[in-house]
Amino acid sequence: MFSGLNTEAYDRDYSDRELLRRIGRYFARDRRRLTWAVVLIVALAVVTAFQPLIVAEGINQLDQNPSTVLLVGLVVLSLATGLFIWGANWIRRRLLVRLTGTVMSDLRLDAFDSVINQDMSFFDQYRSGRIISRITTDTQEFSQVVVLVTDIVSQMLSVVILAVILWTISWQLTIALIIFAVVIVVLA
C-alpha cells in the first residue's frame, strides 16, 4: 500500500480541508450509494456491538431457567444476527466497490484530461509512461484507503457502542479495559 504515493516535482500541495472538499465532490455524484453505505456501516456497528450482549443475556437466561426452547431460540437468534452481519457486510462491500470504482474512474478521467491539456514542454520534462503509472497507482491506492477507512470507522463505532454499554454495566471494569487497551496499543 502507498507504493505510488512518492512525491514528484509536478505535485501540488493542498490542505487536508481542500483535499476532503475535492474528494467529497467525487463521492457526492453518487449520493444514493454513499447514503446506503453509511446506513449499513452504522447498522453493522450496532448489530456487531449487540451480538455478544445477546449471547451473554441468553446464557444468563439459560442459567436461571434451563430450557430447550430457550436454547434453540438463542441459537436461532445468534445465527440470524450472524447472517445479518454477513449479508450487510457483503452489501456494504459491494456498494463501496461500485462507489469507489466510479470515483476512481472519474479521478482517472480527470487526471488524464489534465495531463492531456498540458503543454508539450511538460512531457519533455516528465515521461508520459511514468505519469500514467502514477495516475493508475495513486487512484488504486486511494480506493484501498477508502475501503480501509470505512472498515475502521465501522469497527470504531462498534467499540464506542460496546464501551457505552459496558460503562452502564460496570464503569470500573470499563476504565480498566480502556487502560489495558491503551497499554496494548502503545506496546504494539
Please report which confidence band the pLDDT of residue 2 belongs to, taking 50, 70 and 90 as the band edges: very low
Q: Closest by alpha carbon to 73, among 59, 84, 83?
A: 59
- CA-to-CA distance for 124 and 10, rounded, in angstroms? 13
Domain that holds residue 41: 16-187
Which of the pair, 118 or 89, is modelled with greater confidence? 89
Per-residue pLDDT at 14: 67
Q: Is residue 3's pLDDT more than 60?
A: no
Q: Which of 2-6, 51-55, 122-126 has the lowest mean pLDDT?
A: 2-6
Q: What is the CATH number of the domain that holds 91?
A: 1.20.1560.10
Per-residue pLDDT at 4: 47
Per-residue pLDDT at 10: 53
102-134: per-residue pLDDT in tens?
A: 888 888 888 888 777 777 776 667 676 677 777
Count of domains in the chain?
Answer: 1
Residue 100 included in any domain: yes
Residue 53 included in any domain: yes
Q: How many CB atoms lie within 10 A of CB 103?
A: 21
Residue 1 included in any domain: no
Residue 2 included in any domain: no
Residue 56 included in any domain: yes
* Displacement of CA 175 from its chain's centroid (Å): 27
Residue 178 included in any domain: yes
Residue 175 included in any domain: yes
DSSP state of 126: S
Q: What angle do CA 105, 106, 111 make, to 5 degrees?
A: 100
Residue 9 included in any domain: no
